Amino acid sequence: MREDQVYAELVKAALDARKTAYVPYSHFSVGAALLTGEGEICTGGNIENASYGATNCAERTAIFKAVSQGKRAFRAIAIAGGMEGLEPVEYAYPCGICRQVMQEFAGEDFRVLVVKSPSDYRVHTLEELLPYGFGGESIR
Ligand code: THU
């Protein structure tokens, strides 16, 4: 499959994963779809908590699900977010904590797709979103 076809599938999965978000407080549902090195897609939604700080973002839900299943090589992640029940009106850029978690597992080729609609998304490198990042090599 061509890269743009794979991305189109990943973008759809992120938009679809918004349905799994648990967002009784913000009503802002985010979906993430992670593409593994083997070409599998692992999805996640944001999971809020009455103790707001315990909330988990969609990106980390997807990444932690995959890592807990023994996957560690990832090619891309697509992210879509907007008010619950409505289509996104903006590109969904990941928060700082999620950028840091991506840094832990992302290789040079990793791409971050921020999604507005199935046909409207931007592709970024993690370096663009997290320049001068802190990683494992920083503490060796
Ligand atoms: N959120 C994400 O799921 N991903 C991000 O990168 C930014 C924020 C969620 C957390 C919270 O449930 C809601 O969006 C509003 O902040």
Which strand (E) or helix (H) includes residue 40? none
Q: Are 18 and 26 in contact (CB under 8 A)?
A: no
Q: Would the CB of 32 count as within 6 Å of ligand 1?
A: no
Per-residue pLDDT band at 21 (split at 50, 70, 90): very high
Q: What is the mean pLDDT of the chain?
A: 97
Angle between helix 96-105 and helix 58-68 axes, rounded to 10 deg? 30
- Residue among 3, 38, 40, 59 flagged as catalytic: 59
What are 49's two structure tokens?
Answer: 């908590």
Query: Across residues 116-121, what is the average pLDDT?
Result: 98
Whole-number Cα distances in Å, 104 to 7, 65, 76, 87: 22, 15, 13, 31
Q: Are 37 and 71 in contact (CB under 8 A)?
A: yes
Residues 6+ apart with CB under 8 A from 98: 57, 59, 60
Span from the CA of 28 to the centroid of ligand 1 (angstroms)? 7
Q: Would the CB of 60 count as within 6 Å of ligand 1?
A: no
Q: Would the CB of 48 count as within 6 Å of ligand 1?
A: yes
Percent of the chain with pLDDT over 90: 95
pLDDT at 139: 93
Distance CA 60, CA 62 (A): 5
Query: Across residues 103-124, what is the average pLDDT?
Result: 97
- Per-residue pLDDT reduced to its tens digit, 45-80: 999 999 999 999 999 999 999 999 999 999 999 999
Per-residue pLDDT band at 1 (split at 50, 70, 90): confident
**Residue 91, Cα to own-chain centre: how many angstroms?**
12
Distance CA 29, CA 121 (A): 17
Is 59 labeled as catalytic in the residue annotation? yes
Span from the CA of 10 to the centroid of ligand 1 (angstroms)? 19
